[in-house]
Amino acid sequence: MSSEHRFRRRAEAAAWLALAALALVSRFAGLDHRAMSHDESLHAYYSARYLETGEFRHDPLLHGPLLFHGQALVYALVGVDDRTSRLLPAATGVLLVLAPWLFRRELGRIGALAAAALLLLSPAVLFYSRYLRNDVWCALFALLWARALLDYRARGEPATLPRLAAAMALSFAAKEIAFLTGAGFGAWCLLAAHSERRRGDASGAARWLDLAWFQLALVAPYLSALGVAASGRDPADFDAPGAAASAALWGLGLGAAGLAAALARTRSHPGPRRAMLRGFAGFWALLLALYTSLGTRIPGGVASGVAGSLGYWLAQHGVERGGQPVYFYALLSAIYEPLLWALSLAAVWPIVRFAGAATRPARATLPARRVEVARFLAFWCAAAWLGYSWAGERMPWLLVHIMVPSALLAGTALDRWLPRLLSGLRAATVGGAAAALAVAALLAADLVARRPLAPAGTLRTILLAGVSIAAAAAVGRVWRDGGHRRAARCLLAALLGAWCLLGARTALRAAFPHGDLAVETLVYAHGTPDLKPALAALEAFSRARAGGLDVDLAYDLETSWPLAWYLRRFPRARGFHGAPADAELAQPALVVAAEHDAAAREHLACSHDRLPFRFVWWPLDGYRRWTTADLAALGTASGWRALVGFWFFREIPDLVTEPWPLRREAVLYLSRAPAPCPAPTPELSPALAAAPTPPS
């Protein structure tokens, strides 16, 4: 091995170690600095309850059972609190950043590193790697699923099929979006088989068809939801008499038919047949164990898992939870992922160039294997965009499943572009120019948005001119030493670096200082910064009055999520529905939703301290009701200032006329020693009346 080759290998290893270190810090730092969101509290509460009681009931409303079993294990090992609740997603987020290493043969060594860096800097991937949801798990399992597909196509080894079945089983056990992933991968297998048959590659076409049939066989029992519905039953009614038997009969029949069809393709090849049988058995052994809570809920788990997983979400498609428009993910990606979106679109160009290689062979600059994988990634991206935009439920965390294949697709292009851009350029020069361009962009945005907290206009202008001159000087020096082509490469590399710096700023700001502020569109149905101070006041009151957390406490069930997660620590906490009755008003501590506060305030004004707080809120969503006049207003000078102020600084524009933040409010009452009745408190505290101003 030559010294140059050893140096490159060591540099590559060092780059991967640096990415791993940055992923560890960014995913694990300050996991408990914000309160739980609505969904996080549900997942954490039922996982902790599973650990305490040994009882868990699978319900597709809360998605797959893997999260609850895995989280209960984490709680058993390291305890139960906000930080430990997010350890497993954070660890998965680190693995997700490093997952492109598995694709370095197809992406190229530089392309794999670039894809990993894009995942590291992705605001959506970072935010939801610090969030107790299943999405980073599903993204990682989808990459393992894709890796198994490509390996079987490349080598045709039967041992790959059980690995494929394992990745699919974990995906379906995590979340039902695996149906969309499977539909996309299955469609690709059929299209690739047809394409390779036309090119005369019979063995390649046969392998793609083997994969298509095997995947269909694995998921065939889930189609029992359609059979149950056709027989007049509701597949989402898991507890109905005979629901489990109906799901089991349909599942067995469809599973046997699908497996028989897959095995029929490999009649003359005993290796793949045995591998398919092992994969099918392992797939359903794992899923049934999780659906039935390790065998403790066999009838109900079979009904909810086999028939309900697909049946429930087919019914939810028409409900359209969240009510977001079809362009929701395009809007989110424009706010958070413009670089990744642009790079993935640009990466399609080499594939187009390769398509003309039959008539102009000189244009085929990529190996056929890499082009095939690039086409697969492009198809995966397109299928994800279309599938998630079509699905009725559109939520910000689903953006992760679009950005992950986009990062790999961008890596295929960056593997070719980065060496050309950086050839003969000094890293210090490019880095300095990139930093100067990023600062110049921020200062220019500062000028456009006319931010009141910024320095005076003259100083801003001087700073903008200074950093712009610094960037121009760096590029000019390269031009003087190496000509205009090298200067152009330096400028392009600096622009790419500046975009990365701005993307890192967006990601870190969303995950840390803005992690629970509704100025971020990713912060959806999230606990507010008021929650922890209010709970700290309640805990201090309880310890002073009862010597621990045993104070008598009544809480409005309208505030259950995320409050139920925190109030579980108070053994004498009791929930109630509607306005508080005399029994609840007699408690020393009371939490009541704002809409039920009138009766409590009338009875407790003289005997209790009143602490209003916001317990959950949502970001702006007025774009759902945009009219032509609203769009025209964005094209004006004030509209541009508003857009720039929001995009760069998350300042809520004056153009917003809707109430903001969209929030749910509650009031905490804590009894005090008898005293004269004080003057009435304001309807809303200053903290409740105005949303916190985020740091810039």
Predicted confidence (pLDDT) per residue in 418-431, tens digit: 888 888 777 777 88
Whether the pLDDT of residue 216 is over 50: the answer is yes
Read off the pLDDT of each residue in 8-23 and give the average, rounded to a whole number. 93
For residue 155, CA distances in Å to 182, 190, 218 come to 21, 18, 21
Read off the pLDDT of each residue in 558-576 and give the average, rounded to a whole number. 94
Tokens 């809480």, residue? 555
Tell me the H-state helices in 54-175.
Answer: 66-78, 82-85, 87-98, 104-107, 109-121, 123-129, 135-155, 160-174
Contact 304, 56 (CB under 8 A): no
pLDDT-derived band at 438 (thresholds 50, 70, 90) equals confident
C-alpha to C-alpha distance for 552 and 545, rounded to whole angstroms: 10
pLDDT at residue 369, rounded to an integer? 74
Neighbours of 469 (CB within 10 A): 13
Read off the pLDDT of each residue in 565-590 and give the average, rounded to a whole number. 94
**Greatest mean pLDDT among 433-442, 500-509, 687-696:** 500-509
- Express each pLDDT in 361-413 by its tens digit: 434 456 677 788 989 999 999 999 999 999 888 999 999 999 999 999 999 98
Neighbours of 478 (CB within 10 A): 26
Contact 136, 129 (CB under 8 A): yes
Whether the pLDDT of residue 655 is over 60: the answer is no
pLDDT at residue 319, rounded to an integer? 77
Residue 572 three-state SS: coil
C-alpha to C-alpha distance for 83 and 90, rounded to whole angstroms: 10
Closest to 330 in 3D by CA, of 388, 374, 375, 410 = 388
Closest to 68 in 3D by CA, of 56, 80, 52, 81 = 56
pLDDT-derived band at 451 (thresholds 50, 70, 90) equals low
Backbone angles phi, psi at 657, to 5 degrees: -110, -10
pLDDT at residue 192, rounded to an integer? 93
C-alpha to C-alpha distance for 250 and 254, rounded to whole angstroms: 6
Backbone angles phi, psi at 669, to 5 degrees: -110, 130
Closest to 421 in 3D by CA, of 481, 497, 320, 476 = 497
Whether the pLDDT of residue 38 is over 60: the answer is yes
Q: How is residue 695 written in tokens?
A: 């740091």
C-alpha to C-alpha distance for 53 and 419, rounded to whole angstroms: 57
pLDDT at residue 330, rounded to an integer? 93
Contact 390, 325 (CB under 8 A): no
Closest to 529 in 3D by CA, of 592, 617, 595 = 617
C-alpha to C-alpha distance for 247 and 308, rounded to whole angstroms: 9
pLDDT at residue 687, rounded to an integer? 43
Tell me what percent of the chain is helix, strand and coil, each rounded to the nearest 5: 70, 5, 25
CA torsion, ordered 65, 67, 70, 72, to nearest 10 deg? -90
Percent of the chain with pLDDT over 90: 56
For residue 101, CA distances in Å to 110, 181, 341, 350, 497 come to 10, 21, 21, 22, 22
Neighbours of 92 (CB within 10 A): 21
- Express each pLDDT in 135-180 by its tens digit: 999 999 999 999 999 999 998 889 999 999 999 999 999 999 999 9
Residue 670 DSSP code: E
pTM of the model: 0.91
Region for 650 from its dihedrals, namely left if φ exceeds 0, alpha if ψ lies in -120 to 50, beta otherwise:
left
Whether the pLDDT of residue 182 is over 70: the answer is yes
- Express each pLDDT in 599-629 by its tens digit: 899 899 888 999 999 999 999 888 887 778 8
Mean pLDDT, the chain, integer: 86
pLDDT at residue 559, rounded to an integer? 94
- Span of 29-38, 435-444, 457-466, 665-674 with lowest mean pLDDT: 457-466
- Spell out a b/e string for 424-438, using b for 16 or more CB atoms within 10 Å of the CB, else e: ebeeebbebbbbbbb
| Beta strand spans in 246-330 (E) | none
C-alpha to C-alpha distance for 678 and 146, rounded to whole angstroms: 66
C-alpha to C-alpha distance for 373 and 269, rounded to whole angstroms: 27
- Which is higher by pLDDT, 482 or 438? 438
Whether the pLDDT of residue 457 is over 60: the answer is no
Whether the pLDDT of residue 27 is over 70: the answer is yes
Q: What angle do CA 572, 577, 579 make, to 5 degrees?
A: 105
